Each structure stands twice: as structure tokens, then as C-alpha cells.
Amino acid sequence: MKEVIVIAGPTASGKTKLSIELAKRLNGEIISADSMQIYKYMDIGTAKPALDEMQGIKHYLIDELFPNEEFNVVRFKELAEKYIEEIFEKGKQPIIAGGTGLYISSLVNNINFSETECDWELRKQLSREAEENGPGYIHEKLKQVDPVAAAGIHPNNVKRVVRALEVYIQTQKPISYHNEKSREIPPKYKYVMLGLAMERDKLYDRINKRVDMMLENGLVNEVRRLIDLGYSDSITSMQGIGYKEILYYLRNEITLEEATELIRRETRRYAKRQLTWFKRINEIKWFSIDNSGNTNTIIDEVVAYIRSHGA
């Protein structure tokens, strides 16, 4: 069975740098498992690798969609599997790198999220209920019909709560049932899973510094440009961390200092949720990164581990 390397971990842990070093060592190409880097014009706030950072390594699922285009786990899985095949056909090593746990799980566990059709009217209705009554209202609804799914979805993740409720209403079976059924079909590839970890205080310090750097590099102007290009602040991509907070600032609802602190706090919380998600995956081999984020000290160890698993 062909092997695909997966690099997971929280934001700001060094996944991008390690994936590029591995690709250089193993003749690889990289598929991004990030729900935001797919969008054009959204570079600074997504910590997207610049062209010179890529060092000539081909990247997929970066800069492929416009900000108002729909991107979800179903589309990610379809495109990722297509690109994995293309990379293998070139005689190269596919490397999946990113922090969106649901996307990575869709590949590793071969979860078929497309078993039910999208019901846009139902989605709108549920989304309105969340807006009018708060996200906790529909999360409680989900808890009543699918406690397993509710336990794994943060109440503020309205999009996933709505999707889980939609599946239940359509099929009268919880989304956890559909996920378990799809897992019965083994994945097409063997996934060699690596995780990057760092002491929490050090990780949070890196996150705070990264946010400061984003502001210095022009995050406010990036959001202004998106508005000038006609992208509504209500589209999904503009609700990403870093973008919605700057929108508050540009609407004079908060100060820039308040926006900066909000971005720091929400990014730290997101990192905590990422770690919780990935820690549940027993197959991940964890590697500790020092505070500088220097992956060079572990690259030989990582390569040795990958080669011992056949890749």
C-alpha cells in the first residue's frame, strides 16, 4: 500500500517549515490541509507560505479559490485524493500538512461526508436560529439527537453543528452513525502521521508574536483590500480568525489594540482545540519543537521514523 505522510499540529507549531524540509529530503510535494489558505488574496491572516518560503516545492490547495467560493470537507477530500494520485503518478511523495483536524480525519479515516445532499433552506433556517438564540441553542438541539457528535463539536462552530443537525433531520440517523459506517471502508493509502508539539506557554508566546507580525506585515490593509474587491463581511472566509476581528475594527466597533488582543485570544483557543482533536488520534507520532520553532534539530529523527514505516 502506498504511504502518504501527514504533518498535523496546532497553529504556529512549525508544520509549514517541516513539511518543506521533508519534501526536499523525500522528493515530495505538499497538499495543504488548511481551511483558509485555499483562498486567494488572504495571505497574511492565514500565515500562508510565501513563494520564496516554498523553496521550489509545489503546493496544492493554496490560492485555488476566491474568498466567496464554498470550501468544505467534502470538497477538500475530493481534491486532496485527486492531488495525491497526481503526485504519485509523478513518482513523488505526497505530504499532507495542516491543522484542520476534520480535513485530516476525512482522509485518514476515509469518512464519506457526502452521503447526504445539501439542504440549503434547512441550513439557512438553522443558521437563523443560531443568530437569534445564540450558538448554544442549536448545539443543545444537536445534543438531544446526537450526543456523540455534540461532544466533539465546539458550540461556537455553528457551521458544523448545523451540518450535523441537517444530516439527522434528513436521515433520522446521527452523523456519528454515518461517519462510523464510512470508516468500515479502509482508506486507499497508508497514512504515516506525525504531530508537532510544544510546551503550551511557549506555543502561546509564538502565537502572540505571530499575530503581532501579521499586523506589522499589513493585515489591516489586506482586509481593506478584500472589502474593496467587493467581498462581503458575511461570507464564510471573512469570518476566519484575524479577519472578523479586523472587520470589527474597520467598522469602528473596537480599537485596533482590542482587535489585536481578540485575535491573539481566539488563536490560542483554536490551538487548544486543535491539540484536543489531534491528541485523540493514537496513530500520531509526536515530535517536540523548541521555542524557536526550529525543526532542523528533529528533521533526521522525523525522516528516520518515516523510513521505518516504509515511506
Domain formed by 120-182, architecture: Orthogonal Bundle (1.10)
pLDDT tier, 294 (very low <50, low <70, confident <90, very high otherwise): low
- 11 annotated among ligand-binding-site residues: yes
- 13 annotated among ligand-binding-site residues: yes
- 14 annotated among ligand-binding-site residues: yes
Q: Is the pLDDT of residue 138 over 80?
A: yes
pLDDT for residue 309: 80
Same fold, 3-110+186-308 and 120-182: no
Extents of the domains making up the chain: 3-110+186-308, 120-182
- 12 annotated among ligand-binding-site residues: yes
Give pLDDT tens digits for 233-279.
889 899 899 999 999 999 999 999 999 999 999 999 999 999 998 99
Which one-letter amino acid corresponds to residue 180?
E
The string of DSSP letters for 208-264 reads: HHHHHHHHHTTHHHHHHHHHHTT--TTSGGGGSTTHHHHHHHHTTSS-HHHHHHHHH
Mean per-residue pLDDT of the chain: 90
Give pLDDT tens digits for 24-57.
999 999 999 999 999 999 999 999 999 999 999 9
Q: Helices 256-279 and 200-216 sit at what angle, rounded to 10 degrees?
A: 140
- 10 annotated among ligand-binding-site residues: yes
The Cα–Cα gap between 162 and 192 comes to 32
Q: Is the pLDDT of residue 59 over 70?
A: yes
C-alpha neighbours within 13 Å on the C-beta side of residue 236:
16
- 19 annotated among ligand-binding-site residues: no
Q: For the domain covering 3-110+186-308, report its CATH number.
A: 3.40.50.300
